[in-house]
Chain A
Amino acid sequence: MNIEHIMLRLTIANRLDALADVNAAIETCSAQNEWVMEVEYALTLAIEELVTNIIKYGYDDESEHWILIQIDDLGTEILLLIEDDGHEFDPIKGPPPAFDLALKDRPIGGLGLHLIKELSKSMEYTRENGSNKVKVLFYKIPPPTTKE
């Protein structure tokens, strides 16, 4: 993968209130790079869902951990990388939401990851040196939606 340049690189503590800083940084990054609204939305959502999962389920201890968020410009695509040192978790293998069940019986977990999969081009997970690395690829100009 050829990284043309890094648009955003941010390290946050594993606290939900850090998401406000992340949102502000994405807004600035979006304006600087003239992202279309759908792209800004998709990236904001992917980061919120992944980071929330890491903060809620990634750690057992009380100590502070750091989560890296990086966004790279690949020309026609945008690459999001999120790296954390929490428990091993592959979001791609996460359970898909149970659409066949009636809404009242449906377990809602897995919904966030389903949203990311639908809003992105592809997703990749690796576990390296005790860290989770999730890469999500987005089109810079999203193709017309076919998932109606």
Chain B
Amino acid sequence: MSLQIKQTEKRPGFFILSVIGRLDTVTAPQLDQKINYLLENEAKSISFEMSQLDYVSSAGLRAVLGTYKKLKGKGGVCSVINLQPQVKKIFDIANAFPTLEIFASEAEADDYFDRMQKGELDPKL
């Protein structure tokens, strides 16, 4: 099983990427390429929707955490949505959540970005 990426632009610059399948050493470069393209095109926020992501390894974590770093450098935000338990466990072990936003659903993420755009809250630093 390989990796499939579906992209939705919720509002200008706010992207949801559904990552489907496996995010590992072999497939992570595919995601990196996509992220770099979005960053060149003024992405302000990237949310990874992971309900259909079955497997992540350190290479996949690096791609997600790398996105966080790149976005933060530009004042943007990065979040993860709807992780399967086995994938969440890997993010937990890597201690990724004190910094990375995590949401239970797209609606929750959407609400957060809505409030953020209105200046009602600051993204985590």
Show the binding face of A for B, using Cβ within 8 Å: 16-17, 19-20, 23, 37-38, 41, 44-45, 48-49, 52, 97, 99, 102-104, 108, 111-112, 114-115, 118-119, 145, 147-148
Contact = CB atoms under 8 A, between A and B. Distances in A.
Contacts of A97: 94-95
A52 B59 contact: yes
A115 B90 contact: yes
B86 interface: yes
8 contacts: A19-B24, A20-B26, A45-B90, A48-B57, A52-B25, A108-B62, A111-B62, A112-B58
Nearest to A37: B86
Contacts of B58: 49, 108, 111-112, 115
Contacts of A17: 26
Interface of B: 1, 22, 24-26, 55, 57-59, 61-62, 65-66, 68-69, 72, 86, 89-90, 92-96, 98-100
B99 A48 contact: no
B26 A41 contact: no
Contacts of A41: 55, 86
A115 B94 contact: yes
B38 to A, nearest CB: 19
Contacts of A104: 69, 72, 99
Contacts of A20: 26
Contacts of B86: 37-38, 41
Given A99-B95, A102-B99, A44 B55 contact: yes
Given A16-B25, A99-B95, A114-B93, A108 B65 contact: yes
Closest 4 CB pairs of A and B: A112-B58, A103-B99, A111-B58, A118-B93
B107 to A, nearest CB: 26
A124 B61 CA distance: 25
A37 B54 CA distance: 11
A118 B91 CA distance: 12
Contacts of A44: 55
B27 to A, nearest CB: 10
A48 B24 contact: yes
